[in-house]
């Protein structure tokens, strides 16, 4: 009976690497600011390559600057198992979002090597480019390029606030790579497993160490423009006004009411702009966002229809334009990966539970090309995208142990 690789996970080594990676883009408040494809991220990437090479892993990249660190299997001709996440962060990011998944991947591979065994299939630690979408919107660009979900030209054309294109930033990052061969897109991995902090409060509240992620909830995003007419606040009778702000408030209030049922519908108006935004001028234009999420597509569809009806019903004398800018259906991860994660947790006597992912991840894109799953670990107070983001060292190590055994099992899969 061979030793399970989880027995060779080194808690301190993993934790030290997490703290070291957090130095790239470290903020004074303890957080991390590491924009996608920035010099800071490029330096962190070079550190990953150095760690990988020290273990004998072979680095590869591609035309979106995704990074792969390959542990060659006994049957290198078979598609590899991919494990990892991303290393870019929000401007007010923490030390664990993304970085935990990549470094748990590296630790899992190091544990397999330390166990003295070699996997059948190759195993590759992956860091997907631009998951966050805060410098170049939208996010998940690396996994979208890899899976062919979006054409590379469109992903390269995205511009940051300074006018730099993602394509130019990719070229800069790749130019700094030393002896990192580039691979073409268009191949499917044998499987993908993404470890991640939960970014929600459920595991911590229930004292559960491992979340067996069942799927990702569906999302729709909209932009709404309400157009009225600017006029004098002191001379224009209420009945003669076309007040864009009053119309927007009615619309948002009505949408908020229909989105109360069921009580786990996520509805957010996070962006709101008023023009001209002057105290004595009746607002002529309001521009706002709607972010709608739920695990059941039927619920999302029903509220979508209500949103479309209510913007018309509540617009009054104003004109309204509703644009849907994103639609991602809810999805259910591979049964095989889910049961491997649950079994690995059981074998390690780690408490686990099924849990839905409320946030999007690169695993969403990979789900459509290969058996995919995620492993969640708790994070303090459910806080993420925040310098206060925190995960306990024991939970981080537990996630890496489960990953090591799951990756090992997946690498033994037949053709």
DSSP class of residue 17? H
CA proximity to 105, closest of 5, 33, 207: 5
> Minimum CB separation from Zn ion for residue 22, in Å?
14
Comparing CB distances to Zn ion, the nearer of 52 and 93 is: 93
> Minimum CB separation from Zn ion for residue 196, in Å?
6
Comparing CB distances to Zn ion, the nearer of 215 and 228 is: 215
> Minimum CB separation from Zn ion for residue 362, in Å?
8
127: helix, strand or coil: strand
Comparing CB distances to Zn ion, the nearer of 61 and 199 is: 199
CA proximity to 354, closest of 372, 342, 346: 342
Comparing CB distances to Zn ion, the nearer of 105 and 228 is: 105
* Residue whose pair of structure tokens reads 């060779």 in the numeric block: 8
Rounded to whole angstroms, the Cα distance separating 4 from 82 reads 19
Per the omega criterion (within 30 degrees of 0), is the bond before 176 cis? no
- Binding mask of the shown chain, residues 31 to 70, with x at each position contacting Zn ion by CB under 5 A: ----------------------------------------
| Strand ranges, E, within 94-162 | 123-128
* Residue whose pair of structure tokens reads 């410098």 in the numeric block: 135
Comparing CB distances to Zn ion, the nearer of 21 and 112 is: 21
> Minimum CB separation from Zn ion for residue 114, in Å?
27
Comparing CB distances to Zn ion, the nearer of 199 and 214 is: 199
Question: Which strand (E) or helix (H) includes residue 110?
Answer: helix 99-114
CB 129 within 8 Å of CB 36 = yes
> Minimum CB separation from Zn ion for residue 40, in Å?
17
> Minimum CB separation from Zn ion for residue 131, in Å?
5
**Residue count at the site for Zn ion (CB under 5 A)?**
2
Comparing CB distances to Zn ion, the nearer of 97 and 243 is: 97
| Residue 71 backbone phi and psi in degrees, to 5 | -95, 115
> Minimum CB separation from Zn ion for residue 58, in Å?
25
Structure tokens at 362: 């690169």
Region of 9 (left: φ > 0; alpha: ψ -120 to 50; beta: rest) is beta
CB 247 within 8 Å of CB 299 = no
Q: Is the dihedral of CA 383, 387, 388, 394 positive or negative?
A: positive
Question: Which strand (E) or helix (H) includes residue 58?
Answer: strand 58-61
> Minimum CB separation from Zn ion for residue 193, in Å?
14
> Minimum CB separation from Zn ion for residue 199, in Å?
7
Three-class HEC string of 299-366: HHHHHHHHHHHHHHHCCCCCEEEEEEEEEECCEECCHHHHHHHHHHHHHCCCCEEEEEECCCCCHHHH
| Residue 66 backbone phi and psi in degrees, to 5 | -60, 145
Comparing CB distances to Zn ion, the nearer of 5 and 142 is: 142
- Binding mask of the shown chain, residues 247 to 266, with x at each position contacting Zn ion by CB under 5 A: --------------------
> Minimum CB separation from Zn ion for residue 385, in Å?
9
Comparing CB distances to Zn ion, the nearer of 98 and 378 is: 98
What is the Cα 41 distance to its own chain's centre? 16
- In the range 79-108, which residues lie near Zn ion by CB under 5 A? 97-98
CB 355 within 8 Å of CB 203 = yes
Comparing CB distances to Zn ion, the nearer of 196 and 241 is: 196
Comparing CB distances to Zn ion, the nearer of 8 and 68 is: 68
Q: Centre a 10 Å sphere on the Cβ of residue 288 and count the other Cβ atoms it contains.
A: 18
> Minimum CB separation from Zn ion for residue 132, in Å?
7
Contacts with Zn ion by CB under 5 A lie at 97-98
């Amino acid at each position: 009976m061979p030793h399970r690789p989880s027995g060779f996970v080194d808690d301190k080594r993993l934790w030290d690497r997490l703290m070291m990676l957090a130095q790239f883009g470290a903020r004074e408040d303890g957080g991390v600011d590491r924009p996608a494809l920035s010099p800071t991220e490029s330096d962190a990437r070079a550190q990953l390559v150095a760690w990988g090479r020290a273990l004998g892993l072979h680095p590869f990249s591609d035309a979106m600057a995704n990074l792969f660190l390959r542990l060659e299997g006994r049957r290198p001709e078979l598609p590899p198992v991919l494990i990892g996440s991303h290393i870019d962060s929000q401007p007010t990011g923490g030390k664990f979002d993304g970085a935990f998944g990549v470094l748990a991947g590296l630790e899992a591979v190091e544990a397999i090597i330390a166990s003295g065994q070699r996997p059948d299939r190759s195993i590759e630690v992956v860091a997907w480019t631009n998951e966050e979408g805060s410098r170049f919107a939208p996010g998940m660009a690396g996994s979208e390029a890899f899976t062919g979900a979006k054409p590379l030209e469109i992903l390269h054309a995205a511009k940051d606030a300074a006018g730099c294109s993602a394509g130019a930033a990719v070229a800069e990052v790749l130019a700094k790579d030393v002896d990192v061969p580039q691979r073409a897109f268009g191949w499917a991995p044998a499987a993908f497993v993404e470890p991640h902090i939960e970014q929600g409060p459920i595991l911590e509240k229930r004292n559960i160490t491992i979340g067996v992620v069942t799927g990702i909830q569906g999302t729709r995003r909209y932009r709404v423009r309400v157009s009225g007419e600017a006029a004098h606040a002191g001379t224009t009778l209420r009945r003669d006004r076309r007040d864009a702000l009053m119309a927007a408030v009615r619309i948002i209030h009505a949408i908020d009411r229909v989105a109360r049922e069921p009580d786990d519908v996520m509805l957010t108006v996070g962006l709101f702009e008023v023009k001209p935004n002057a105290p004595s001028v009746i607002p002529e234009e309001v521009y706002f966002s709607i972010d709608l999420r739920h695990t059941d597509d039927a619920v999302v569809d029903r509220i979508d229809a209500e949103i479309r009806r209510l913007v018309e019903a509540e617009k009054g004398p104003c004109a309204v334009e509703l644009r849907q800018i994103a639609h991602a259906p809810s999805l259910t991860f591979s049964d095989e990966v889910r049961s491997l994660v649950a079994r690995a947790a059981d074998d390690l006597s780690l408490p686990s539970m099924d849990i839905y992912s409320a946030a999007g991840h690169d695993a969403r894109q990979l789900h459509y090309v290969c058996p995919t799953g995620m492993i969640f670990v708790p994070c303090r107070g459910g806080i993420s995208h925040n310098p206060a983001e925190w995960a306990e060292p024991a939970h981080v190590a537990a996630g890496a142990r489960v990953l090591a055994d799951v990756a090992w099992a997946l690498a033994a899969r037949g053709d």
